[in-house]
């Protein structure tokens, strides 16, 4: 019984990681608006939003995500549609 529970827990974690990777998009920072909690990204397609590659302004859920960003930085991010707005919920600098 314990093996079955452990196998199920592992499968659930693996499924969550796969979903998180699928929702992650690549982009380049064009502009950072710390006061307005917005970032302009030139990004690849965002699969979970059925969004093609483009440049657009995103609101950011947590202003801390913008603290060390500068135009030209390459990033990986997760965006969601919340109350009709596109919001970046996770963002990290991509390795150079």
CATH number at residue 37: 2.40.50.320
Residue 14 lies in a domain: no
3-state secondary structure the chain: CHHHHHHHHHHHHHHHHHHHHHHEEEEEEEEEECCCCEEEEEECCEHHHCECCEEEEEEECCHHHHCCCCCCCEEEEEEEEECCEEEEEEEEECCC
Please tell me the pTM assigned to this model: 0.75
Residue at 64 is within a domain = yes
Q: How many domains does the chain have?
A: 1
For 36, the domain range is 25-93
pLDDT digits (tens, 9 = 90+) for 29-41: 999 999 999 999 9
pLDDT tens-digit readout, 35-89: 999 999 999 999 999 999 999 999 999 999 999 999 999 999 999 999 999 999 9
């Amino acid at each position: 019984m314990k093996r079955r529970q452990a196998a199920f827990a592992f499968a659930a974690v693996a499924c969550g990681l796969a979903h998180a990777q699928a929702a992650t998009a690549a982009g380049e920072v064009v502009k950072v608006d710390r006061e307005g909690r917005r970032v302009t990204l030139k990004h690849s397609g965002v699969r979970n939003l059925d969004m093609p590659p483009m440049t657009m302004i995103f609101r950011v859920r947590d202003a801390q995500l913008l603290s060390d960003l500068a135009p030209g930085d390459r990033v990986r991010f997760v965006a969601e549609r919340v109350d009709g707005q596109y919001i970046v919920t996770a963002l990290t600098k991509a390795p150079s």
